[in-house]
Structure 1
Amino acid sequence: MKKILKFIGKYKIFLVLSVLLATVSVILQLYVPILFGDAIDQIVAEHQVQFDTMWVLLREILVLVAISALATWIMNMINNHMTYHIVQDIRSQAIRHIQRLPLSYLDRHSSGDIVSRIIADTDILSDGILLGFTQLFSGIVTIVVTLIFMFSKNFWITLLVIVLTPMSFLIARFISSRSFEMFHKQSETRGNQTALIDEMIGNQKVVKAFGYEEKASERFAQINADLQKYSQKAVFYSSLTNPSTRFVNNVIYAGVALVGAFMIPGGALTVGGLSVLLSYANQYMKPFNDISSVITEMQNALACANRIFDLLEEEEESPDVEGTINEVKGNVSISHVDFSYDKNHRLIEDFNLEVDPGMRIAIVGPTGCGKTTFINLLMRFYDVNQGNIKIDGKPIDGLSRHALRSSYGMVLQETWIKDGTVRENIAFGKPDATDEDIIRVAKEAHSWEFIERLPKGLDTVLHEDSISQGQKQLLCITRVMLCLPPMLILDEATSSIDTRTEQQIQEAFDKLMKGRTSFIVAHRLSTIRNASLILVMKDGKIIEQGTHEELLAQGGFYNKLYNSQFQAV
């Protein structure tokens, strides 16, 4: 609640206005029973009714009810305004925070679970906050003002009501503590369900290709059963609150009626006065019913808020600095670098490398040897555990991440296009590029051939499955070539492209890499024969380095790796 209040604090003026309107509405509603009581007391006996006074009182009641209704309507409008802006702020902060989280967090959590926290959990939190504003404010004011009015009417009956009230609190507290646990499990399970749906639908071709449909359905059914179980228990516990508190309230109401009835013959109370106290007893107890219902919803909302704030409180990547490189020459120095994803399992150990400007560095080795990890360290997607990496003599942790990453053009094996036009996808890193520039680069990257065939050319809107994997990779290559970065990183950049197109793109890359420091990760060793230096990695260490000819002449690991391409299976 304290964390939510930090977001609410931005809207203090609306909060104060809402409380004031709630107070006005409640006071007017509670003054109405007094007027009704006075009106009843105008009926003295048969043929002794003070109609003139009664009509005046009834007109006053009508005016007060109208003003109270207007105040409640405006209060609800204000509460809606506050609630949706608070949720908007939470979602905006969550998205900004995700952009600053280290990749390690995103690696550990499924995208479906993160989406569930930002969308579903904030929606439920929104409902809880809205109910809280609408019911809690009015409820608390109603309780306080009702007691004041009741004390003004009869001290002993009011004292009876106060003595019996804690029973409602105890019952509500007992039930809500158990419902919170179930709502928390419900929220977690809903996140797992979203993650599974995202995973299965996003990879439906693989699911069908391997006949995994039945197993996927079984996994979903298990999660769905857990969600049903936790939801049912949460609803069961929460549904006990209202009838339980209503039972206590009815006991209180009966007590007021009984005690008041005994007071009337002695003249300590009039019939009108008793009707006022009964009305107040009812008004006094109604907020407890409302608040008990709100507490149930709030348990669900707070359980969801817990997951949202877990995300918001995740430690961000180390603070950025303002360091920049005015003109990148491309000298890269790596000195005694150690790194591991898991502290118990060292991946890269004592890595050393000196790269002169314009060199082409090829990185080869068996799967899992640390090639892509090395690229992640160059781009500072992960920070090294020990040692340092320098560009043109400046440590990369002394540069802003934007300055560092804008120094590289990166084409990955895992392609990515956003939902948008072909133009937007190509100009992703250079939004001010002209169509002439885009078309020229697309022709160099050999992507223009298929772009021309699209229904609207550059204006064709692409989705994840709009084009083939190879075409996506061509777009990613075009995107990098448009930016003309000082350095290049090519991680299996042509893995999804046919041999003929790959040869043509290789020519384009040769032009692009001329004079630029380039790092090339490749499994097809024939594509790196012209590299200035080939690093052979195994178990996170460089075990061999040299040119293609030098490494073949050594007859070591690289020689075996290269010749294995041509061996018959």
Structure 2
Amino acid sequence: MSADRAEDTSEGRAGPAGEGRGATESMSGTRNDNKTADPGPADAKPVRRGGGPAMGVGMGEKSKDFWGSAKRLLGRLAPHRATLIVILVLTVASVALNVIGPKVLGQAVDKIYSGAVGAQLPAGQTKQAVVDALRARGDDTFADMVSGMTVTPGVGIDFGAVGRILLIVLVLYLCAGLFQFLQARLLNRVVQRTMNTLRKDVEDKINRVPLRYLDGQPRGELLSRVTNDIDNIGQSMQQTVSQLLVNGLTVIGVIVMMLTISWWLTLIAMIAIPIVLVVTKQVMARSQKLFIAQWGHTGRLNGQIEETFTGHELVKVFGRQQEVDARFDETNEQLTNVSWRAQFVSGLVMPIMMFVGNLQYVVVCVIGGLQVANGSMTLGNVTAFVQYSRQFTQPLTQLASMVNLMQSGVASAERVFEVLDAPEQVPERDEPMAPTKGAVEFDRVSFGYDAGHPLIEDLSLRVEPGQTVAIVGPTGAGKTTLVNLIMRFYELDSGRILIDGRDITDVSRRQLRSRIGMVLQDAWLFHGTIRENIAYGRLDATEDEIMAAARATFVDRFVHSLPDGYDTVIDEEGSGVSAGERQLITIARAFLADPAMLILDEATSSVDTRTEVMLQEAMAALRSDRTSFVIAHRLSTIRDADTILVMEDGRIVEQGNHEDLLRARGAYYRLYMSQFEGAVAGEDEELAVGQ
């Protein structure tokens, strides 16, 4: 995924009983719209990402609709109708020339054989006279054969005629090969463009689905659908579409040519068709569910690998390498077993069809030889028919052998279509939004991650422009959920959220988020230079503006110690810089964006105390004249907030400034005491003296 889009899908977390960790580590207003949000089905339940043992597709899962999915997959070729027509014409021409070849070549065989026989017959006599003479001396078999031939007694092989026929055959096959090359090239282009469009559609779809859907999908499983499954679809279509066209038309053409030679032998050859149908049907019935399970286990294995690689430090810290290896071996063994069974069952088609083809070949040769002997067919026609019988069984065998490819491709297509058919976020309006002053109002807001399990109920709150609002409370109280609702990462169950008196659902998500900067506890960086990561906050920023943001947020302090300074390349995990330095870069990104409103979710949790003090000063300047929401567990960082909201179980149980809440000796007092028991004792004395 592109960096800006991955931003919205990489860090989503939610819990039915706790906070919803924001889907983005955003940074402000340069976000793409339609990235997250909105409730999915009522039964959608957020789950942790990664492929745990219970995830993946079970061995018994069957294809939901094989033919429907196959038709839908082929329907994606529709935009390339003109090219497909050209491909069809080239295929017909190539098959026609290949099919005509054996018939023409049979004429050369007749010329050679008739010449060889004619050279042995007495010259100067008619063919009938020679036949009568042979019958007179009792050689009826040879007489029957000569009577069925076009032969001139005493005249040998006409090599000139044979040469001309062979030249025609050569031209036929050369043209057929050229047409087939052009057809394959065009088809490859169509398939690759179709896969390109499919990837774009899946990418766009992921940016339109609710965050609930992404929270409910193991990340490795979703990545497997976007990468492995689409690649498998492309490979399957590349191999099967061409073969279906070529082999299907070849069967039709060969039947027509065989009928022109002998309808009796044609009926014998066509015995293979019902055998192919029966075998193919039986194999498909048994192997389709195995291919579904194969790709399901592939996604599950990818999920486990992604989970392990992401948390490899944690795995080593707790010494869980053996457990991880054991779980990997178990899933890998399951994938191996189901893949072997799928390939073995589908692979039975080829040997069975080869056996049927060989039997057919023997029968055609024997009966054809007898007909040549009794003069009812020429040797050239029998030779051509033998070739046609091979051409007839070969495409049938190839069609049958493609069952595994088709099943595998359709199984992958079903998995991709499940993503494309996922419920999307609710449609949005796109009315103009005036410059934001920053007044925020929650009007009887209710929200829950699961139907029937509300997290926030009937919450009302008003924040004036320019105020700094700190949100505190125990884990799971709904602090992050509250700011996620402002960003429309999730849609409300009831109530309204208004900014400057306007319902946030009246404007597009892009407009809304373009006015809000957000820094999360989990720093998100993309692969690129430090300069590019900072500039992501505002892509049109000048070099001076980027440097100013870096200096204001103390990025400039450490960046000069790196090998390439601001041009140092870091990856998605921020390798080469510490966790605190990663967070400084994300804060610089938000600083550069200069948003109208600001959301800080534990934004300084990964920096040292000395740097935090300096950052508090920088962020105080950043918050100046902006409405800011600050989520914090370290209460020392929010003492200067205009309003402190204390949340418990999705409700605001207290609100006020630092001093007033301490005097109230309620929930905030208890939280503060748990962190600064000594400091609170001192403040108690001061409060007592004041009273």
TM-score > 0.5, shorter chain as reference: yes
Which of residues 84, 88, 106 in structure 2 aligns to 1:15? 84
Task: Map residues 110-121 of structure 1 onto 2, 5 A cutoff.
Answer: 110-121=218-229
Correspondence list, 1:392-403, <5 A: 392-403=500-511
Between the aligned partners of 1:393 and 1:254, the Cα distance in structure 2 is 87
Deviation at residue 497 of structure 1 after TM alignment: 0.8
Aligned to 1:69: 177
1:149-204 CA-partner distances (Å, limit 9, x unpaired)? 11111122222333442111110121123222111111011111111111111111
> 1:46 Cα shift?
5.8
Give SS of 1:544's match: strand
> 2:358 aligns to what?
250
Q: Does the 8 A contact of 1:412 with 1:493 survive in 2? A: yes
Q: Does the 8 Å contact 1:136/1:291 carry over to 2?
A: yes
Compute the displacement of 1:395 (Å).
0.7
Aligned match for 1:549, one of 639, 647, 659? 659
| Alignment-derived partner of residue 287 in structure 2 | 179
1:443 aligns with 2:551: yes
Distance 1:488 1:124 in 2: 44
Mapping of residues 111-510 of structure 1, within 5 Å: 111-463=219-571, 464=573, 465-510=575-620
The code of the aligned residue for 2:287 comes to S
Deviation at 1:393, TM superposition (A): 1.1
Match of 1:538 among 618, 637, 648: 648
Q: Any idea what SS the aligned residue of 1:267 has?
A: coil
Mapped partners of 1:486, 1:271: distance in 2: 91
Give per-residue Cα distances to partners, 1:220-261, cap 9 Å, x unaligned: 001000000111101110110101112222233233233333
Question: Which whole-Å deviations, capped at 9, do the CAs of 1:93-117 have from their partners, x for residues lacking one?
Answer: 1112112222112211122222211
2:123 pairs with 1:37: no
Per-residue deviation, 1:265 = 4.0
1:88-137 residue CA offsets vs partner (Å, 9 max, x unmatched): 11112111211222211221112222221111111111111011222111
5+ unaligned residues in a row in structure 1: which ranges?
Answer: none
Alignment of 1:43-58 (within 5 A): 43-44=113-114, 45=117, 47=119, 48-58=156-166
The 1-side partners of 2:71 and 2:508 are apart by: 34
Match of 1:518 among 623, 628, 631: 628
In 2, Cα distance between the equivalents of 1:546 and 1:164? Answer: 86
For residue 524 of structure 1, report the CA deviation from its aligned partner. Answer: 0.7
Letter matched to residue 168 of structure 1: V
1:3 and 2:113 correspond: no
Task: State the distance in 2 between where 1:46 and 1:206 align.
Answer: 90
Residue 87 (structure 2) pairs with residue 26 (structure 1) = no
Cα deviation for residue 22 of structure 1 reads: 1.5
Return the offset for 1:361: 1.0
Match 2:212 to one of 97, 100, 104: 104
Shift of the 152–335 alpha-carbon distance from structure 1 to 2, 3 Å rule, reads: same
CA contact (8 A) 1:324 1:404 kept: no
Deviation string 1:375-409 (CA, Å, 9 cap, x unpaired) is 11111000011111111111111111011111111
The gaps in structure 2 that reach 5 residues or longer are 1-69, 120-155, 679-691
Cα RMSD, aligned residues only: 1.4
- Displacement of 1:30 after TM fit? 1.3
Contact 2:293–2:338 (Cα < 8 Å) also in 1: yes
Amino acid of the structure 1 residue aligned with 2:308: M
Give the residue type in structure 1 aligned to 2:496: N
Are the aligned partners of 2:445 and 2:456 in contact in 1 as well (CA < 8 Å)? Answer: yes
Q: In 1, Cα distance between the equivalents of 2:360 and 2:89? A: 29
> 1:311: how far off?
1.2
Equivalent pair of 2:272/2:393 in contact (CA under 8 Å): no
* 1:41-80 deviation digits (Å, cap 9, x = unpaired): 1122062323222111111111111111111111111121
Secondary structure, aligned partner of 2:563:
coil
Q: 1:436, CA displacement in angstroms? A: 0.9
Q: Distance in 2 between matches of 1:434 and 1:457?
A: 17
Which whole-Å CA distance do the structure 1 matches of 2:480 and 2:676 have between them?
25
Answer yes or no: is the 8 Å Cα contact 2:472–2:632 preserved in 1. Answer: yes
CA distance in 2, matches of 1:361, 1:287: 73
The answer to whether the 8 A contact 2:445-2:459 is kept is: yes
Aligned pairs, how many?
568
Taking the aligned partners of 1:169 and 1:118, their CA distance within structure 2 comes to 34
Q: Is the 8 A contact 1:113 1:192 kept in 2?
A: yes
Q: Name the stretch that deviates more: 251-260 or 142-151.
A: 251-260
Residues in 2 aligned to 1:4 and 1:466: alpha-carbon distance in whole angstroms: 44
Secondary structure of the 1:288 match is helix
Q: Distance in 2 between matches of 1:486 and 1:53?
A: 90
In structure 1, distance between residues paired with 2:365 and 2:107? 18
Paired residue type of 1:553: R
Measure the CA separation in 2 of the matches of 1:535 and 1:519. 10
Kindly provide the amino acid, as one letter, of the partner of residue 9 in structure 1.
A
User: Partner letter of residue 445 of structure 1?
Assistant: T
C-alpha distance in 2, partners of 1:184/1:398?
43
Q: What TM-score does the superposition give when structure 2 sets the normalisation length?
A: 0.80
Q: Which amino acid aligns with 2:259?
A: F
Q: 1:459-480 CA deviation, whole Å, 9 max, x = no partner?
A: 2211222211100110111111
User: In the alignment, is the contact (CA less than 8 A) between 1:172 and 1:245 conserved in 2?
Assistant: no
CA contact (8 A) 1:118 1:308 kept: yes
Q: How far apart, in 1, do the equivalents of 2:161 and 2:481 lie? A: 88
- Once the two structures are superposed, residues 478-534 of structure 1 have per-residue CA deviations (whole angstroms, 9 ceiling, x without a partner) of 111111111110110100011111111111111121221111100011111111111
Counterpart of 2:682 in structure 1 is none
CA distance in 2, matches of 1:58, 1:197: 60
Amino acid at match of 2:84: L
How many angstroms apart in 2 are the aligned matches of 1:69 and 1:391? 68
Q: In structure 1, what is the Cα distance between the partners aligned to 2:191 and 2:400? A: 20
SS of the counterpart of 1:95? helix
Cα distance, 1:283 vs. partner?
0.7
Letter in 1 for 2:172: L
